[in-house]
């Protein structure tokens, strides 16, 4: 059995993902109320008591809304780099000193037999990161909230079996939307969010015979749609000469209001 994961929910209103391997179960971010996180966990037959810790990507509220409450309720360690800890100190509230864990950007940590690697991403936060998960045979990369995929990001997440990758917005929907221009400019910029087309360009460079699935995550409810995201990513990949069969590689949905099914990274 390889790494298992479920994207509990993903989007502009909140984000949380659970990764399990053996006796280790980690949650990435906690962007919902503690009550809602408990509900999402139950939908995947989990409880907060089964978690071994929470990995934080950055301090925006859609990633840390329930972080303090969940950590205190279940006495969980929180892992974040120093600048992120400084940024979340006030909104998260009091955390027991033994549960304040520093996970430096670019470092790797072993949680039982599961290795986790942190890597820097481009976003308008203190020191945002993505995470890669390794079990010695397979690799899962979780990367959202980035304005563009740097060479460092591409090198780090290369050769993943499965990706959870941001596909935040359709550019034209965003440009025509109701947001003020300064917000649109932020989203479209290098410190903002990946568009559908940008996600397709990233995947066209990453797709190998090893790659099985890519989950399109952090979709905007205002400026994107599930079917549009998959179609645009597929078109962008094919425009760059990257052709594939659904039997060999699949683009998968994530949802703002419910979890994805459990998926096993090494499920061949």
| DSSP calls for 45-59 | T--GGG--EEE----
Q: Considering the chain, what percentage of its residues have pLDDT values greater than 70?
A: 97
Mean pLDDT of the chain: 95
| DSSP calls for 233-260 | HHHHHHHTT----TTT-EEEE--SSSPP
Q: Considering the chain, what percentage of its residues have pLDDT values greater than 90?
A: 93
Sorting pLDDT into bands at 50, 70 and 90, what band is 114? Answer: very high
Sorting pLDDT into bands at 50, 70 and 90, what band is 124? Answer: very high
For residue 245, the model assigns a pLDDT of 67
Q: What is the CATH number of domain 4-264?
A: 3.60.15.10
In whole angstroms, what is the distance from residue 229 CA to residue 195 CA? 9
Between 127 and 208, name the one with better pLDDT. 127
Query: Does the pLDDT value for residue 267 go beyond 70?
Result: no
Residue among 182, 237, 244, 192 nearest 218 (CA): 192
| Range in 36-40, 66-70, 103-107, 177-181 with the lowest mean pLDDT | 177-181
For residue 78, the model assigns a pLDDT of 98
- The tokens describing 8, both together, are 């509990």
In whole angstroms, what is the distance from residue 204 CA to residue 241 CA? 8
Decide: 157 and 141 in contact? Cβ < 8 Å.
yes
Decide: 157 and 143 in contact? Cβ < 8 Å.
yes
- Give the phi and the psi of residue 78 in degrees, each rounded to 5: -110, 130
Query: Does the pLDDT value for residue 246 go beyond 80?
Result: no
What pTM did the predictor assign? Answer: 0.96
* Cα angle for residues 65, 70, 74 (degrees, 5° grid): 170
């Amino acid at each position: 059995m390889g790494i298992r994961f479920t994207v509990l929910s993903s989007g502009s209103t909140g984000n949380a993902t659970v990764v399990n391997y053996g006796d280790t179960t980690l949650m990435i971010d906690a962007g919902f109320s503690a009550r809602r996180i408990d509900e999402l966990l139950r939908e995947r037959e989990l409880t907060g008591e089964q978690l071994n810790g929470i990995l934080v990507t950055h301090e925006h509220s859609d990633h840390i809304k329930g972080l303090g409450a969940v950590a205190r309720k279940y006495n969980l360690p929180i892992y974040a780099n120093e600048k992120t800890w400084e940024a979340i100190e006030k909104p998260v509230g009091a955390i027991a000193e033994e549960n304040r864990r520093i996970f430096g950007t670019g470092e790797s940590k072993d949680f039982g037999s599961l290795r986790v690697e942190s890597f820097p991403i481009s976003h308008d936060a203190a020191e945002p990161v993505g995470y890669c998960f390794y079990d010695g045979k397979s690799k899962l990369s979780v990367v959202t909230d980035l304005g563009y995929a740097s060479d460092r990001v591409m090198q780090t997440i290369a050769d993943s079996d499965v990706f959870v990758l941001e596909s935040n917005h359709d550019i034209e929907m965003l440009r025509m939307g109701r947001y003020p221009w300064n917000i649109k400019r932020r989203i479209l910029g290098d410190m903002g969010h990946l568009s559908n087309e940008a996600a397709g360009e990233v995947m066209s460079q990453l797709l190998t015979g090893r790659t099985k699935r890519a989950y399109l995550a952090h979709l905007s409810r205002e400026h994107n749609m599930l079917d549009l995201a998959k179609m645009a990513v597929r078109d962008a990949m094919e425009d760059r000469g990257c052709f594939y069969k659904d039997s060999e590689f699949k683009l998968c949905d994530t949802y703002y209001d419910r979890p994805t099914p459990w998926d096993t990274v090494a499920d061949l």
